[in-house]
């Protein structure tokens, strides 16, 4: 038997999950693995929607053979050319030489860039709004540039109201038999990974995600089929609302996240005191992270979730403590904006971190940086305890606004 499952009577899931890969894109830890979703339409013509990463290519090809059950493959729609979906594409096209490749001009140019082969004689070049009729189904192609590469498009099945959404609405995490978001506890078990996936993969491209959401708002969507993670057929609006927030850089929670870069624990002590004083003033849901011991992708996701961010950093080599600098530059690179921030610095002889952190924050959009920063010289003493109390007052008042 195979891992193939029916999505509808004539659309099959033929993707596969990888639980062995440690780092997605060789950057992001994926302890829960990742799925590479692919879909097979068995209409009068057969259509494959995207392929998979090389690591699961054999399973995928077995699924595809099983799904086709001896039929030929007529079309391969390529919504996204990133190798996590296209590394196995050339193999598919060699196995089924009669299959036509459907993509836009950028897709087909990238296909040649990656494979060194010219598929122009078997290509169907589509643009925004073009359709493909395969018998019962009519597919409409909708461009979604920079969600997450420039060639990305999504494909809407106007017959069964299914949106094949490419990377959009995807998440880290391998699928374990249950294909649908309503068959798992998504909010409890998947949302953190979905947020980490979104913010780190496409977080930078909020404007472009907004453009796609506006297009999607005009579609009647019964089933949402992303290229990673569970498929949506219930509560789609709930997940779209998350995307609405993330892509407009609107915090999900009015909450304080304290990020600490501490060499010997004295900066961490200042952060601890601040957290305790916030708690004493009634603030709930405070989170505190040591930036040396968390993957930066988790920290980026938390910065997207929370409204108020505190950066507490030692001075190091006359600059910002290295993992804290890495976090701040990553937040800037991912276009995080519209947050309230506070800064705590430490430096035994020449504190510099505060000024430099403020410099990075000033280069990000719509950041409100509280004036009352705190300088610790080696360890927290009476003046800093007072200042931390005042900072806790200021943050609490701002949170309650
Ligand atoms: Fe899942 Fe941008 O690739």
Q: What pLDDT, in 10s, does the model give residues 123-164?
A: 999 999 999 999 999 999 999 999 989 999 999 999 999 999
Q: Residue 401 has what pLDDT?
A: 87
Give residue 1's pLDDT.
64
Residue-level pLDDT at 194: 98
Contact indicator for 320, 290 with CB cutoff of 8 Å:
no
Please report, rounded to a whole number, the percentage of residues in the chain having pLDDT higher than 90.
98
Question: For residue 164, how far is its CA from the centre of ligand 1 (angstroms)?
Answer: 13
Distance in Å, CA 80 to ligand 1 centroid: 7
CB 228 within 8 A of CB 171: yes
CA 118 / ligand 1 centre spacing (Å) = 23
Q: What is the DSSP string of 63-121?
A: HHHHHHTTPPP-EEE-S--SHHHHTTHHHHHHHSTTPEEEE-HHHHHHHHHHHS---GG
The residue written with tokens 């001896």 in the block is 70
218 CA to centre of ligand 1 in angstroms:
24
Beta carbon of 195 within 6 Å of any ligand 1 atom:
no
pLDDT tens across 222-273, in order? 999 999 999 999 999 999 999 999 999 999 999 999 999 999 999 999 999 9
User: Between vectors from CA 348 to CA 347 and to CA 353, what angle results, nearest 5°?
Assistant: 10
Which residue pairs from 361-368 have beta carbons closer than 8 angstroms and sit at least 24 positions apart in sequence? 361/311, 361/328, 363/332, 364/331, 364/332, 364/335, 364/336, 364/337, 365/335, 365/337, 365/338, 366/249, 366/337, 366/338, 367/337, 367/338, 367/339, 367/340, 367/341, 368/339, 368/340, 368/341
Crossing angle between the packed helical segments 206-217 and 236-247, to the nearest 10 degrees: 150
SS3 of 245-298: the string is HHHCCCCCEEEEEEEEECCCCHHHHHHHHHHHHHHHCCCCCCEEEECCCCCHHH
pTM as predicted: 0.96
Kindly give the distance from the C-alpha atom of residue 82 to the centroid of ligand 1, in angstroms, as a whole number: 5
Residues 208, 146: contact at Cβ < 8 Å? yes
What's the CA-to-centroid distance between 193 and ligand 1, angstroms? 15
CA 14 centroid distance within chain: 23
What ligand 1 atom has the least distance to the C-alpha of 36? 1
- The kind and range of the H/E element at 302 are helix 296-305
53: Cβ below 6 Å to ligand 1?
Answer: no
**Nearest protein Cα to ligand 1, atom 1:** 167
**Ligand 1 within 6 A of CB of 51:** no
Q: Which of 322, 324, 363, 357 is nearest to 342 (CA)?
A: 357
Residue nearest to atom 3 of ligand 1 (CA): 82
Q: Is 151 in the pocket of ligand 1 (CB under 6 A)?
A: no
Is the CB of 205 inside a 6 Å radius of any atom of ligand 1? no
Query: How far apart are alpha carbons 102 and 125 in whole angstroms?
Result: 6
Using CA atoms, how far apart are residues 37 and 80, in angstroms rounded to an integer?
A: 12
In the reported structure, the alpha carbon of residue 145 is separated from the centroid of ligand 1 by a whole-number distance in angstroms of 13
pLDDT above 90 for 63: yes
Ligand 1 centroid, distance to 274 Cα (angstroms): 39
In the chain, DSSP finds a helix count (H) and a strand count (E) of 13, 23
Three-state DSSP class for residue 43: coil
190-216 pLDDT, tens digit per residue, is 999 999 999 999 999 999 999 999 999
**pLDDT tens sequence across 84-125:** 999 999 999 999 999 999 999 999 999 999 999 999 999 999
Confidence at 372, pLDDT banded by 50, 70, 90:
confident
For 38, 293, 296, the CA distances from 21, given in Å and listed in that order, are 19, 21, 18
- Neighbouring residues of 351: CB distance < 8 A, sequence distance ≥ 6: 315, 345, 375, 376, 377
3 pLDDT above the threshold of 90 = no
Mean pLDDT over all residues of the chain?
97
- State if residue 50 touches ligand 1 by the CB under 6 angstroms criterion: no
């Amino acid at each position: 038997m195979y891992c193939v499952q029916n999505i509808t009577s004539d659309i099959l899931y033929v993707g596969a999950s990888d639980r062995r890969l440690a780092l997605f894109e060789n950057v992001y830890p994926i302890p829960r693995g990742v799925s590479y979703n692919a879909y097979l339409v068995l209409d009068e013509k057969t259509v494959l929607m995207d392929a998979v990463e090389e690591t699961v290519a054999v399973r995928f090809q077995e699924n595809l053979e099983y799904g086709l059950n001896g039929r030929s493959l007529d079309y391969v729609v390529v919504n996204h050319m990133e190798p996590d979906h296209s590394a196995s594409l050339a193999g598919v096209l060699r196995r089924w030489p009669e299959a036509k490749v459907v993509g836009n001009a950028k897709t087909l140019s990238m296909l040649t860039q990656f494979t060194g082969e010219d598929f122009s004689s078997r290509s169907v070049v589509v643009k925004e709004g073009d359709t493909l009729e395969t018998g019962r189904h009519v597919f409409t192609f909708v461009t979604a540039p920079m969600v997450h590469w420039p060639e990305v498009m999504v494909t809407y099945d106007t017959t069964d109201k299914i949106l094949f959404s490419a990377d959009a609405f995807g998440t880290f995490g391998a699928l374990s038999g249950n294909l649908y978001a309503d068959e798992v506890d998504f909010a409890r078990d998947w949302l953190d990974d979905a947020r980490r996936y979104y913010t780190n993969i496409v977080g930078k491209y909020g404007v472009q995600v907004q453009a796609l959401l506006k297009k999607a708002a005009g579609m009647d969507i019964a089933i949402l089929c992303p290229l990673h993670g569970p498929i949506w057929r219930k509560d789609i609006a709930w997940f779209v609302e998350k995307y609405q927030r993330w892509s407009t850089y609107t915090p999900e929670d009015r909450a304080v996240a304290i990020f600490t870069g501490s060499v010997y624990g004295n900066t961490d002590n200042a952060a601890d005191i601040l957290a305790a004083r916030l708690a004493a003033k009634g603030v709930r849901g405070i989170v505190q992270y040591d930036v040396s011991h968390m993957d930066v992708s988790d920290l980026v996701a938390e910065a997207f979730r929370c409204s108020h961010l505190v950066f507490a950093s030692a001075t190091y080599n006359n600059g910002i403590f290295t993992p804290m600098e890495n976090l701040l530059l990553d937040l800037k690179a991912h276009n995080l904006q519209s947050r309230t921030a506070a800064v705590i610095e430490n430096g035994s002889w020449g504190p510099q971190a505060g000024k430099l952190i403020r410099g990075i924050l000033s280069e990000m959009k719509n950041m409100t940086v509280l004036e009352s920063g705190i300088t610790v010289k080696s360890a927290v003493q009476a003046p800093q305890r007072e200042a931390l109390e005042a900072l806790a007052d200021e943050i609490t008042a701002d949170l309650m606004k």
